[in-house]
Amino acid sequence: MKIAVCVKQVPDATVHKRLDPSTHRLDRSGEGALNPTDLNAVEEALRLRDAHGGEVAILSLGPERAMDSLRKALAMGADRAVLVSDAAAAGSDLVATSHALATALGREEPDLVLFGQQSSDADGAVLWAAVADRLRRPMVSQVAELTIEGGTLTGKRQTEFGYDVISAPLPAVVAVSDAINEPRYPSLKGIMGAKSKPQETVSLADAGIEADRVGEAGSKTTVRAVAPPPAKSDQVKLEDDGSAAEKIVEYLAEKRLI
Ligand SMILES: Cc1cc2nc3c(=O)[nH]c(=O)nc-3n(C[C@H](O)[C@H](O)[C@H](O)COP(=O)(O)OP(=O)(O)OC[C@H]3O[C@@H](n4cnc5c(N)ncnc54)[C@H](O)[C@@H]3O)c2cc1C
- Kindly report the CATH number assigned to the domain that includes residue 197: 3.40.50.620
Q: Give the strand pairing for 32-34 and 112-116.
A: unpaired
Report the atom number in ligand 1 closest to the C-alpha of 126.
Answer: 29
Distances 169 to 152, 175, 177, 241 between C-alpha atoms, Å: 4, 15, 20, 67
33 lies in some domain: yes
Pocket of ligand 1 (CB under 6 A): 6-8, 25, 35, 37-38, 41, 60-62, 90-94, 97, 101, 115-116, 118-119, 122-128, 219, 221-223
- Host domain of residue 120: 2-218
249 lies in some domain: no
251 lies in some domain: no
Cα of 209 to ligand 1 centre, how many Å? 17
255 lies in some domain: no
169 lies in some domain: yes
105 lies in some domain: yes
71: closest CA among 203, 195, 182, 189? 195
Cα of 122 to ligand 1 centre, how many Å? 6
Q: What stretches of the chain adopt beta strand conformation (E)?
A: 2-6, 9-11, 32-34, 55-61, 80-84, 112-116, 139-149, 152-159, 162-169, 172-176, 199-202
**Neighbour-count burial of 224, counting CB atoms closer than 10 A to its CB (0-12 exposed, 13-18 middle, 19+ buried):** exposed
Query: What pLDDT is stored for residue 237 in this prediction?
Result: 84
47 lies in some domain: yes
Query: What pLDDT is stored for residue 232 in this prediction?
Result: 77
Q: How many separate domains does the chain show? A: 1
Q: Candidates 127, 134, 222, 223: which one to mutate for ligand 1, based on the most atoms within 8 Å of Cβ? A: 127
Cα of 105 to ligand 1 centre, how many Å? 16
174 lies in some domain: yes
Full-prediction pTM beyond 0.95? no
Residue-level pLDDT, tens digit, the chain, 258 residues: 999 999 999 999 888 888 888 888 888 888 899 999 999 999 999 999 999 999 999 999 999 999 999 999 999 999 999 999 999 999 999 999 999 999 999 999 999 999 999 999 988 999 999 999 999 999 999 999 999 999 999 999 989 899 999 999 999 999 999 999 999 999 999 999 999 999 999 999 999 999 999 999 999 999 998 888 888 777 788 888 999 999 999 999 998 889
**Neighbour-count burial of 240, counting CB atoms closer than 10 A to its CB (0-12 exposed, 13-18 middle, 19+ buried):** exposed
